[in-house]
Amino acid sequence: MRSLQEVGPEYARAAQVLKKGDSPLALAKVDCTIHKSVASKFGIEGFPTLKLFTNGVASEYNGGRTESEIVSWMKKKTGPASKVLTTVAEVEAFHADSEVAVVYFGDNAADLEVFQRVARSNDDTLFGNIANEEAYTKFGVKAGTVVLFKKFDDKRNDTTEITEEGLKAFISKNASPLVMKFDEKCAQLVFGKATPGLFLYRDRNSEKAAELDAIFTAIASKVQGKIQVVITDITEGLETRLAEYIGVTSKDLPTVRIHDTRVDLKKFNMDAEITEANVLNFVNDWEAGKLKANLKSEEIPVTQEGDVIVLVGKSFYTIVLDDTKDVLVEFYAPWCGHCKKLTPIYDELAKNLKHNKNLIIAKMDSTTNETEAVSIQGFPTIKFWPAGKKSAPMDFNGDRTVEGFTKFLQEHATNPVTLKQEDL
């Protein structure tokens, strides 16, 4: 959700922190608009993209985008899964420094093995363990207890169910506030970790804001563990970016939406009056699979201007899935700098190849149009649907030049792609 301009300074500060701490960890950056072969090799389609390289092997970065979150994620990925604590003071300091910290009290070998497996699979939460009778007494636990300490809601949660599945469910349920505002942490939870979100979009300055907030606060404990409750405006920072991404405007406020990010982003709009009963019914219907996802679409253009065909949600399948046509589609956002840079290249490509009657060069504004056929993770996203092979669209992986696009199409199109004589 954050732009390169927003993440860049955080990344630079994180690099300085790791350097000052004499850490063996290093942060680096690559300009993929210059080093295009690197972007192609590692499947880089959107910016910024972060990856961790360990002994030359790349893995996805799925942590937060702030200085502290980047540093914590790197240390967690390369350090011990669970920190050994020895005194009450160490436990207190351990959880005092963190929004959320999970501590196992005990020394059972089987429990510790399970605890550490869960710790290794959780990148954003600190894990520690202690075997100390004084600590058991101080924190009111018996050996074999896991305590999740947090700085919000009820401050701590305990469990004695030491199974991998049980611990993961326990942490997932309790490690986030019952009600969140939409900030970087919330964005990472919902969109980075594929946690479904129940969103109330409203104007904080409206007369009904307090009443609406109270309704969602009351609902939060009733849907805990199923879906994350989020209350947000649309006018500041990430809120504005989210509203643009989802397609919520001031005319829509207040509005209740579910954003289900578990596979691809699916959006569900509640049409009923905002009451506690109606919102709970909305969540129950979503959970039961009774809701139909909402897809944005502009109206189909009456005429097509220019050589690049303009797609909208309503016309996507008719044009793209025409089995006789090879179709190249750019999914873009009007505010995307890389998309703007690509526009003259894409226009020239379409002009050069327009005599190929079974080839379509198209584009779709993904901020105002959607299709279930594609999950957009970054801009621009460029995909190709060959004629006769519509069930297997291809990611464009060539150079983003007229020559690069032309070469890709000539290699992968079902129909022959020819150049005009003057272009040869």
Domains observed in the chain: 1-79 (3.40.30.10), 80-175 (3.40.30.10), 179-287 (3.40.30.10), 309-423 (3.40.30.10)
Tell me, what's the pLDDT at 23? 62
**Contacting residues for 92 by C-beta, under 8 A, at least 6 apart:** none
pLDDT at 376 over 60: yes
**Contacting residues for 48 by C-beta, under 8 A, at least 6 apart:** 3, 4, 7, 8, 11
Q: What is the pLDDT of residues 30-86, one digit of tens each?
A: 988 888 888 888 888 777 888 888 778 888 887 777 777 787 778 766 668 899 999
Q: What is the pLDDT of residues 113-168, one digit of tens each?
A: 999 999 988 877 889 999 999 999 999 999 999 999 999 999 999 999 999 999 99
The structure's pTM equals 0.66
| Spatial separation of the C-alpha atoms in residues 158 and 83, rounded to whole Å | 19
| Spatial separation of the C-alpha atoms in residues 360 and 78, rounded to whole Å | 48
Sign of CA dihedral 209, 212, 214, 217: negative
pLDDT at 1 over 80: no
Tell me, what's the pLDDT at 64? 75
Tell me, what's the pLDDT at 3? 58
pLDDT at 111 over 70: yes
* Interval 391-416 mean pLDDT: 95
